[in-house]
Amino acid sequence: MPKRLSRAFFKRSVHAVAPDLIGATLLVNGVGGRIVEVEAYHHTDPAAHSFRGATARNAVMFGPPGFAYVYRSYGIHWCLNFVCEPKGSASAVLIRAIEPTAGLALMRRRRGVSDVRLLCSGPGRVCEALGVTGAHNGLALDAAPFQIFAHAEPVDIVAGPRIGITKAADKPWRYGLKRSRFVSKPFRLSPVTPT
DNA sequence: TGCCCGATTAACT
DNA sequence: GTTAATCGGGCAA
Protein backbone atom coordinates (compact mmCIF):
# COMPACT_ATOMS: atom_id res chain seq x y z
CA MET A 1 0.00 0.00 0.00
CA PRO A 2 1.46 3.43 -0.92
CA LYS A 3 2.24 5.90 1.83
CA ARG A 4 -0.38 8.52 2.53
CA LEU A 5 1.01 12.07 2.39
CA SER A 6 1.21 13.74 5.79
CA ARG A 7 0.32 17.34 6.49
CA ALA A 8 4.08 18.02 6.88
CA PHE A 9 4.54 17.19 3.19
CA PHE A 10 2.94 20.53 2.35
CA LYS A 11 4.97 22.52 4.87
CA ARG A 12 7.70 23.28 2.32
CA SER A 13 8.29 25.70 -0.52
CA VAL A 14 5.54 25.54 -3.11
CA HIS A 15 8.27 25.05 -5.72
CA ALA A 16 9.40 21.88 -3.91
CA VAL A 17 5.92 20.52 -3.24
CA ALA A 18 4.59 21.08 -6.77
CA PRO A 19 6.98 18.72 -8.62
CA ASP A 20 6.75 16.21 -5.74
CA LEU A 21 3.01 15.94 -6.34
CA ILE A 22 3.51 14.68 -9.89
CA GLY A 23 2.78 10.96 -9.86
CA ALA A 24 0.98 11.08 -6.53
CA THR A 25 -2.54 9.67 -6.33
CA LEU A 26 -5.42 11.98 -5.40
CA LEU A 27 -8.77 10.53 -4.41
CA VAL A 28 -11.91 12.38 -3.31
CA ASN A 29 -14.41 9.97 -1.79
CA GLY A 30 -12.46 7.21 -3.52
CA VAL A 31 -12.67 8.81 -6.96
CA GLY A 32 -9.62 10.16 -8.79
CA GLY A 33 -6.22 9.06 -10.03
CA ARG A 34 -2.63 9.98 -10.64
CA ILE A 35 -1.69 13.67 -10.63
CA VAL A 36 0.01 14.45 -13.95
CA GLU A 37 -0.06 18.28 -14.07
CA VAL A 38 0.13 21.08 -11.46
CA GLU A 39 1.07 24.74 -11.24
CA ALA A 40 2.79 26.62 -8.38
CA TYR A 41 1.55 30.00 -7.14
CA HIS A 42 3.55 32.00 -4.59
CA HIS A 43 2.37 35.09 -2.72
CA THR A 44 5.16 37.17 -4.33
CA ASP A 45 3.88 36.08 -7.76
CA PRO A 46 1.68 38.69 -9.49
CA ALA A 47 -0.39 35.88 -11.00
CA ALA A 48 -1.31 34.49 -7.56
CA HIS A 49 -4.67 35.27 -5.96
CA SER A 50 -2.82 36.04 -2.71
CA PHE A 51 -0.54 38.66 -4.31
CA ARG A 52 -2.75 41.60 -3.32
CA GLY A 53 -3.54 40.40 0.17
CA ALA A 54 -6.24 38.38 1.89
CA THR A 55 -9.89 38.51 0.82
CA ALA A 56 -12.90 36.40 1.70
CA ARG A 57 -12.21 34.23 -1.34
CA ASN A 58 -8.51 33.50 -0.77
CA ALA A 59 -8.53 33.42 3.05
CA VAL A 60 -7.61 29.71 3.14
CA MET A 61 -4.36 30.46 1.27
CA PHE A 62 -3.27 32.56 4.27
CA GLY A 63 -3.93 29.72 6.70
CA PRO A 64 -1.81 26.65 7.55
CA PRO A 65 -0.44 24.29 4.84
CA GLY A 66 -2.09 20.98 4.05
CA PHE A 67 -5.56 22.36 3.37
CA ALA A 68 -7.65 22.68 0.21
CA TYR A 69 -8.22 26.08 -1.39
CA VAL A 70 -11.15 25.85 -3.83
CA TYR A 71 -12.24 28.88 -5.81
CA ARG A 72 -14.67 29.60 -8.62
CA SER A 73 -13.07 30.32 -11.96
CA TYR A 74 -14.76 32.55 -14.52
CA GLY A 75 -17.90 32.33 -12.39
CA ILE A 76 -18.50 28.82 -13.69
CA HIS A 77 -15.86 26.24 -12.82
CA TRP A 78 -14.24 25.13 -9.57
CA CYS A 79 -10.45 24.89 -9.20
CA LEU A 80 -8.64 22.86 -6.50
CA ASN A 81 -5.40 23.99 -4.84
CA PHE A 82 -3.21 22.57 -2.06
CA VAL A 83 -1.98 25.24 0.38
CA CYS A 84 1.78 25.02 1.00
CA GLU A 85 4.60 26.47 3.11
CA PRO A 86 4.38 27.75 6.68
CA LYS A 87 1.12 29.43 7.67
CA GLY A 88 0.81 32.93 6.31
CA SER A 89 3.00 32.62 3.22
CA ALA A 90 -0.13 32.25 1.09
CA SER A 91 1.23 29.85 -1.51
CA ALA A 92 -0.61 27.01 -3.22
CA VAL A 93 -0.40 24.34 -5.91
CA LEU A 94 -3.16 24.23 -8.52
CA ILE A 95 -4.19 20.70 -9.52
CA ARG A 96 -4.54 20.93 -13.30
CA ALA A 97 -4.83 17.35 -14.57
CA ILE A 98 -5.20 13.75 -13.38
CA GLU A 99 -4.86 10.38 -15.05
CA PRO A 100 -8.12 8.69 -14.01
CA THR A 101 -7.62 5.39 -12.19
CA ALA A 102 -10.50 5.07 -9.70
CA GLY A 103 -14.22 5.66 -10.07
CA LEU A 104 -14.25 5.94 -13.87
CA ALA A 105 -17.99 5.32 -14.19
CA LEU A 106 -18.87 8.05 -11.70
CA MET A 107 -16.47 10.48 -13.35
CA ARG A 108 -18.01 9.81 -16.77
CA ARG A 109 -21.47 10.44 -15.35
CA ARG A 110 -20.43 13.70 -13.66
CA ARG A 111 -18.58 14.96 -16.74
CA GLY A 112 -21.04 13.78 -19.36
CA VAL A 113 -18.27 12.45 -21.60
CA SER A 114 -16.90 8.96 -22.14
CA ASP A 115 -13.38 9.69 -23.44
CA VAL A 116 -11.07 8.99 -20.49
CA ARG A 117 -8.68 11.65 -21.72
CA LEU A 118 -11.37 14.34 -21.36
CA LEU A 119 -12.39 13.42 -17.80
CA CYS A 120 -9.68 15.24 -15.81
CA SER A 121 -7.51 17.14 -18.33
CA GLY A 122 -7.92 20.65 -16.92
CA PRO A 123 -8.47 22.25 -13.50
CA GLY A 124 -12.20 22.73 -14.01
CA ARG A 125 -12.60 19.21 -15.36
CA VAL A 126 -10.72 17.70 -12.38
CA CYS A 127 -13.13 19.30 -9.94
CA GLU A 128 -16.21 18.29 -11.89
CA ALA A 129 -15.03 14.67 -12.25
CA LEU A 130 -13.99 14.34 -8.58
CA GLY A 131 -17.03 16.18 -7.26
CA VAL A 132 -14.99 19.02 -5.74
CA THR A 133 -16.96 22.21 -5.03
CA GLY A 134 -16.77 25.26 -2.82
CA ALA A 135 -17.92 23.01 0.02
CA HIS A 136 -14.39 21.54 0.03
CA ASN A 137 -12.73 24.92 0.54
CA GLY A 138 -10.73 24.87 3.79
CA LEU A 139 -10.89 21.10 4.34
CA ALA A 140 -7.76 19.24 5.52
CA LEU A 141 -5.99 17.19 2.86
CA ASP A 142 -5.05 14.36 5.25
CA ALA A 143 -8.64 13.58 6.18
CA ALA A 144 -11.86 12.47 4.49
CA PRO A 145 -12.99 12.97 1.81
CA PHE A 146 -9.41 13.44 0.60
CA GLN A 147 -6.79 10.71 0.21
CA ILE A 148 -3.38 11.58 -1.26
CA PHE A 149 -0.76 8.85 -1.70
CA ALA A 150 2.91 9.25 -2.61
CA HIS A 151 4.01 7.57 -5.81
CA ALA A 152 5.94 4.33 -5.39
CA GLU A 153 7.97 4.44 -8.59
CA PRO A 154 10.31 7.27 -9.69
CA VAL A 155 8.73 9.63 -12.22
CA ASP A 156 10.13 11.84 -15.00
CA ILE A 157 9.02 15.44 -14.50
CA VAL A 158 8.88 18.23 -17.07
CA ALA A 159 8.33 21.95 -16.46
CA GLY A 160 7.09 24.84 -18.56
CA PRO A 161 5.21 28.15 -18.52
CA ARG A 162 1.84 28.25 -16.78
CA ILE A 163 -1.37 28.28 -18.76
CA GLY A 164 -4.11 30.90 -19.00
CA ILE A 165 -2.30 33.73 -17.21
CA THR A 166 -0.92 37.05 -18.42
CA LYS A 167 1.13 38.13 -15.39
CA ALA A 168 4.50 36.40 -14.86
CA ALA A 169 3.65 34.21 -17.83
CA ASP A 170 7.34 33.53 -18.44
CA LYS A 171 7.88 31.70 -15.16
CA PRO A 172 8.28 27.90 -15.68
CA TRP A 173 6.10 26.93 -12.75
CA ARG A 174 3.89 24.39 -14.50
CA TYR A 175 4.99 20.82 -13.78
CA GLY A 176 3.93 17.65 -15.55
CA LEU A 177 4.51 13.95 -15.90
CA LYS A 178 6.77 13.44 -18.90
CA ARG A 179 4.99 11.98 -21.94
CA SER A 180 1.64 11.74 -20.12
CA ARG A 181 -1.35 11.74 -22.48
CA PHE A 182 -3.58 13.12 -19.74
CA VAL A 183 -2.20 16.67 -19.37
CA SER A 184 -4.41 19.64 -20.33
CA LYS A 185 -1.91 20.80 -22.96
CA PRO A 186 1.31 19.17 -24.15
CA PHE A 187 4.61 20.22 -22.61
CA ARG A 188 7.28 21.40 -24.99
CA LEU A 189 10.02 18.83 -24.57
CA SER A 190 13.65 19.69 -25.14
CA PRO A 191 14.59 19.32 -28.79
CA VAL A 192 16.40 16.12 -29.63
CA THR A 193 19.71 16.66 -31.29
CA PRO A 194 19.73 14.95 -34.72
CA THR A 195 22.39 12.29 -35.10
C1' DT B 1 -21.47 52.13 -8.11
C1' DG B 2 -19.91 50.65 -12.62
C1' DC B 3 -16.77 48.57 -15.59
C1' DC B 4 -13.17 45.37 -16.91
C1' DC B 5 -10.70 41.23 -16.39
C1' DG B 6 -9.66 36.56 -15.10
C1' DA B 7 -5.21 30.18 -12.55
C1' DT B 8 -11.80 27.85 -17.91
C1' DT B 9 -14.54 25.18 -20.86
C1' DA B 10 -17.54 23.82 -24.66
C1' DA B 11 -19.63 25.07 -28.68
C1' DC B 12 -19.40 27.46 -32.34
C1' DT B 13 -17.46 29.36 -37.61
C1' DG C 1 -9.67 30.33 -35.32
C1' DT C 2 -13.82 32.98 -32.01
C1' DT C 3 -17.27 33.51 -28.36
C1' DA C 4 -20.69 32.89 -24.60
C1' DA C 5 -21.48 31.50 -19.95
C1' DT C 6 -21.20 33.96 -15.26
C1' DC C 7 -19.30 36.16 -10.87
C1' DG C 8 -15.73 38.02 -7.44
C1' DG C 9 -11.89 41.22 -7.15
C1' DG C 10 -9.62 45.49 -8.32
C1' DC C 11 -9.78 50.00 -9.58
C1' DA C 12 -11.63 54.40 -11.52
C1' DA C 13 -15.19 57.81 -10.91
pLDDT digits (tens, 9 = 90+) for A176-187: 999 999 999 999
Amino acid symbol at A53: G
Amino acid symbol at A171: K
Residue ranges, chain A, pLDDT below 70: 1, 190-195
CB of A74 nearer than 7 A to strand B: yes
Nearest to A160 by CA among A16, A40, A68, A42: A40
Nearest to A101 by CA among A23, A166, A160, A175: A23
Contact A169, A31 (CB under 8 A): no
Q: Which residue is nearest to nucleotide B9 (CA to C1')?
A: A124
Nearest to A20 by CA among A151, A182, A173: A151
> What number of other Cβ atoms are within 10 A of residue A99's Cβ?
22
Q: What was the pLDDT predicted at A194?
A: 56
Closest nucleotide to the alpha carbon of A57, via C1':
C8
Q: Where are the alpha helices (DSSP H) in chain A?
A: 14-21, 104-111, 123-130
Dihedral pair phi/psi, residue A193, rounded to 5°: -70, 125
Closest nucleotide to the alpha carbon of A48, via C1':
B7
Amino acid symbol at A112: G
CB of A116 nearer than 7 A to strand B: no
Q: What was the pLDDT predicted at A79?
A: 97
Please count the helices (runs of H) and the strands (runs of E) in chain A: 3, 8
Q: What was the pLDDT predicted at A188?
A: 87
Which strand B bases fall within 7 angstroms of a protein CB? 5-10
CB of A97 nearer than 7 A to strand B: no
Regarding pTM above 0.85, the answer is: yes
> What number of other Cβ atoms are within 10 A of residue A58's Cβ?
20
**Residue–nucleotide distance: A37 CA to B7 C1' (Å):** 13
Residue A103 pairs with which residues in a beta bridge? none
Q: What was the pLDDT predicted at A190?
A: 64
Residue A80 pairs with which residues in a beta bridge? A70
Contact A139, A67 (CB under 8 A): yes
